[in-house]
Amino acid sequence: MTRVAILWHMHQPFYEDLVTREHILPWVRLHALKDYYGMVAVLREFPEVRATFNLVPSLLVQLEAFAADRARDRALEVSLKPADALDPADAQFMLDTFFHAQPHRMIEPYPRYAELWMRRGSPPSTFTVDDLRDLQVWHKLAWIDPSYFETDARVRKLAARGRDFSEADKRILREVELELLNRVIPEYRAAAERGQIEVSASPFYHPILPLLCDTDVYLQTHPNARTPRQRFQHPEDAAEQLDRAAACHERLFGTRPAGLWPSEGSVSDAMAPLVARAGFQWMATDELILARTLGVTFTRDGFGHVEQPERLYAPYRLTAGGAPVACVFRDHVLSDLIGFTYAAWAPDAAADDFVGRLVEAGRRYQGRGGGDEPVVSIILDGENAWEHFDGGGRPFLRALYRRLTGHPELRTVTMREAVGDATRELGSIFPGSWIDANFSIWIGHADDQRAWSQLADARQALSTVPATGATAAAYASAYEEILVAEGSDWCWWYGEDHSSAHDLEFDDLFRRHLRNAYQLLGKPVPDELFVSNISHGLPPPVLTQPNAWLSPRLDGQGTGYFEWLGAGTLEIRPTAGAMHRTSGGAPSLTLVQFGFDRERLLVRIEGSRPLIDLLADGEEVSLKFLSPEGVRFSVRRFLGRLAGHFWRRAPVPVGGRALPWVDHGPCRAVVGAGPVLELGLPLSELEARPGGTIAFFVAVYDARDVELERHPAHRPIEVTVPDALFEARNWQV
């Protein structure tokens, strides 16, 4: 009898900004509607089938928040807003984001959704209130679990109507949404209690444990690779991520998990004993890790059958570090057939092919003298693949489970059952992940290395927190932010390996967690955390360069069109995907103009309301310079009067980094505030010379010195100081 151990890995990044409490992207909520409940609920139809579900704690706690109706993302907010109250920014956001679904399976089957999708490039003004309301409904309805389309009267009625939905229909759909969200975790708990599934875990925020233990582990496979500017070496954080994961599962499911899918199947000798000490009895990774560990190569015949089954289809016992933990290694090819191939097949044909391959794997194992019953491990993502399958993958799963039920040569088992007889010993394990048996995806690109450097700096700032006098609560919150930033998902999207429509959101959220940590510790935020780590494919700001000398009257009145003719301009546009100013919502500032007279950098700033009113409310407008480095010019009302000050970083001591700002007091800068804000900053005080570069952001702070917005969002304004040829170079008739 061949034991078949299937593990479905359920994971989403931690999308929540712990300061604003906004969930930046909606994928936890949407996948909960479509996959997380239905994937386990379908097993009720096949009581003999056993499986393992790996539930990442960072997913579970977000599911709890959405189920309790205390979590929000902008897509949810906009979907619930009365359609006749949607403003142009809301409508544009919907057109930009409400079609993020697999077109062939999730849009085209629904005529009204497909009709709106075909018009998505049209201006928002061409969409009626009814159009927008229908889009609000279909954006969510297309994600509802397939079983609800089959059996739930509310969903069937909405789907049958198809168009011309009402606000009452939206409220009904919200009821269905909350119902589904609240059924997810209890359904897994029930399946575990009846013994049909095992629930395993990953480290809490899904970090790459070997890299947390020591980023230099990457050099074992890439000895000549560049490394972060500071080595990250915090095995105590790896242990914390494991302990928190086990505690989370115990709270939600009543027992500590026996098994671990280490994030991205990433293993090393350093993390293995931490896994065992956290109470995990087994962990799993990829077949290529086993091959490298054993010093062999797994080959396959022309049909994809592994030719060394006696090595692959068996559990092992790893004793690296002296603390034993059982290991299973997934069949890469079989797992990928489900993940990437069978979506294009008819469900019955795919199930027949897969079951036939499982039977052949077992027979080959026995034929090669494998000994005991073989264990064929199938491990893959349990959510994303189904968007490409007919019926959300349910027809395929039913066909597969039907064939596995009562099969004379196959028996499904949980992973814990699969490793119960592990006797083959491994004294060490090759360091790598389930992708090419290395960690290149997460640390191999310059963008990754920059992120690890920033993480290492923030972790070092945390270790010196007693000197800052931060409270225990602030320290704990800052540590939480760093643990979130240790997650694997941020670096997954850095570099050229992977890309999505949300690269900027992932990049910003990583840096935001680190910025939050510094602020909680009462330490200055390094300027580089306001600059995108993405080095390729980043959309440029809507920016023009100055092309003439300026001579405006800096009175803040905004009078005289010709005063700023020839200035460079930065158009500030609302950023889709955020609910708050601190995370990119509707900004206070709308336009920045900049240029030079013979002695000064000149800047003019417009806002959505008079700038003098913004300053009167206690907010501050600042120019934060990256070149010259460590300079900030701020404008704020102080004791009823408008004051402009240059601030500079204090000298950096040995081993130190970002330090407090020092007020350099009165300066020769000119400030004019009224409907607009106009500034003249002496080039001498900026130590800027002709031909040199000035780079700066324009930022708004509140009365607590918390940054509310910064422009441009990802790269500073860069401008060259005019030289003697400036006028001739830009001369026009």
Distance CA 692, CA 685 (A): 14
Q: How far apart are CA 427 and CA 233, in angstroms?
A: 23
Is 517 within 8 Å of 481 (Cβ atoms)? yes
**628 Cβ contact partners less than 8 Å away, ≥ 6 residues apart:** 686, 687, 688, 694
Task: Name every residue whose Cβ is closer than 8 Å to that of residue 593 and which is 6 or more positions away in sequence.
Answer: 564, 567, 568, 569, 570, 603, 604, 605
The pLDDT, as a whole number, for residue 653 is 41
Instruction: Write down the pLDDT at residue 654.
Output: 35
Q: How confident is the model at residue 657 (pLDDT cuts 50, 70, 90)?
A: very low
Alpha helices in 142-270 (DSSP H): 146-151, 153-161, 167-193, 209-213, 235-253
Query: What span, in angstroms and rounded, lies between the C-alpha atoms of 622 and 524?
Result: 15
Asked if residue 280 has pLDDT above 90, the reply is yes
pLDDT at residue 87 is higher than 50: yes
CB 140 within 8 A of CB 107: no
Report in angstroms the alpha-carbon separations of 416 from 42, 47, 377, 534, 650. 21, 18, 12, 41, 57
The residues of the chain that CATH labels 1.20.1430 are 445-530
Name the burial class of residue 38, with classes exposed (0-12), middle (13-18) and buried (19+) by CB atoms within 10 angstroms of its CB. Answer: buried
Q: In the prediction, which pLDDT does 558 show?
A: 76
Q: How many CB atoms lie within 10 A of CB 195?
A: 10
- Which range of 42-46, 364-368, 516-520, 721-725 scores highest in mean pLDDT? It is 42-46
Single pTM value for the model:
0.89
Q: Give the tens place of pLDDT for each residue, 154-202.
A: 999 999 999 999 999 999 999 999 999 999 999 999 999 999 999 999 9
- With b for 16 or more beta-carbon neighbours within 10 A and e for fewer, the 645-662 pattern comes to bbbebeeeeeeebbeebe
Structural tokens at position 381: 């993502």
Residue 575 pLDDT? 55
Distance CA 579, CA 272 (A): 41
- Residue-wise pLDDT for 431-456, tens only, equals 999 999 999 999 999 999 999 999 99
Q: How confident is the model at residue 117 (pLDDT cuts 50, 70, 90)?
A: very high
Going by C-beta distance under 8 Å and a sequence separation of 6 or more, which residues neighbour residue 498? 441, 492
Q: Is the pLDDT of residue 633 over 50?
A: yes
pLDDT of residue 591: 94
The pLDDT, as a whole number, for residue 520 is 93
Question: Dihedral through CA 60, CA 66, CA 70, CA 76, nearest 10?
Answer: 140
Please list, in sequence order, all residues whose beta carbon lies within 8 angstroms of the beta carbon of residue 85, skipping any fewer than 6 positions away: none
Kindly report, as residue ranges, where domains of CATH 2.60.40 are found in the chain.
543-729
Query: Residue 173, class by beta-carbon neighbours within 10 Å (0-12 exposed, 13-18 middle, 19+ buried)?
Result: buried
The residue assigned the tokens 């009626």 is 128
For tokens 């809490």, the residue is 204
In CATH, the number for domain 543-729 is: 2.60.40
Residue 665 has pLDDT above 70, yes or no: no
pLDDT at residue 561 above 80?
Answer: no
User: What is the model's pLDDT at position 644?
Assistant: 87
User: pLDDT category, 10, cuts 50, 70, 90?
Assistant: very high
- Given a cut of 60, whether residue 527 has pLDDT beyond it is yes
For the chain, how are helix, strand and coil distributed in percent, rounded to 5?
A: 45, 20, 40
* CATH placement of domain 445-530: 1.20.1430
Share of the chain above pLDDT 70, in %: 94
Query: 629: how many CB neighbours lie within 10 A of its CB?
Result: 10
pLDDT at 508: 94
Q: Are 677 and 621 in contact (CB under 8 A)?
A: yes
The pLDDT score that the predictor gives to residue 300 is: 97
The per-residue pLDDT for range 413-425, each reduced to its tens digit, is: 999 999 999 999 9
Among the residue ranges 103-107, 129-133, 490-494, 667-671, the one predicted with the least confidence is 667-671
- Give the model's pLDDT for residue 577: 36
Other Cβ atoms less than 10 A from the Cβ of 460: the count is 14
Alpha carbons within 13 A on the beta-carbon side of 32: 28
Q: Per-residue pLDDT tens for 366-380?
A: 988 767 899 999 999
Whole-number Å distance between alpha carbons of 157 and 561: 59
Q: Decide: helix, strand or coil at residue 693.
A: strand
Spatial CA neighbour of 265 closest among 206, 312, 326: 206
How many other C-beta atoms can be found within 10 angstroms of the C-beta atom of residue 18?
A: 16
Model confidence over 208-249: pLDDT tens digits? 999 999 999 999 999 999 999 999 999 999 999 999 999 999
Q: What is the pLDDT of residues 567-598, one digit of tens each?
A: 999 998 765 433 334 433 578 999 999 999 99
> What pLDDT, on a 0 to 100 scale, did the predictor assign at position 24?
94
> What is the Cα–Cα distance from 48 to 413, expressed in whole angstroms?
10
Secondary structure, 3-state, 214-229: CHHHHHHCCCCCCCCC
Q: Taking every pair of C-alpha atoms in the chain, what is the biggest distance, in angstroms?
A: 90
- C-alpha to C-alpha distance for 176 and 405, rounded to whole angstroms: 32
- How much is the pLDDT for 488? 98
How much of the chain exceeds pLDDT 90, in percent? 81
Instruction: Give the pLDDT confidence of 25-68 residue by residue, as tens digits.
Output: 999 999 999 999 999 999 999 999 999 999 999 999 999 999 99
Angle at 411 between CA 410 and CA 417, to 5 degrees: 140
Mean pLDDT of the chain: 92
Tell me 584's DSSP state: T
Report the alpha-carbon distance of residue 449 to residue 719 in Å, rounded.
Answer: 28
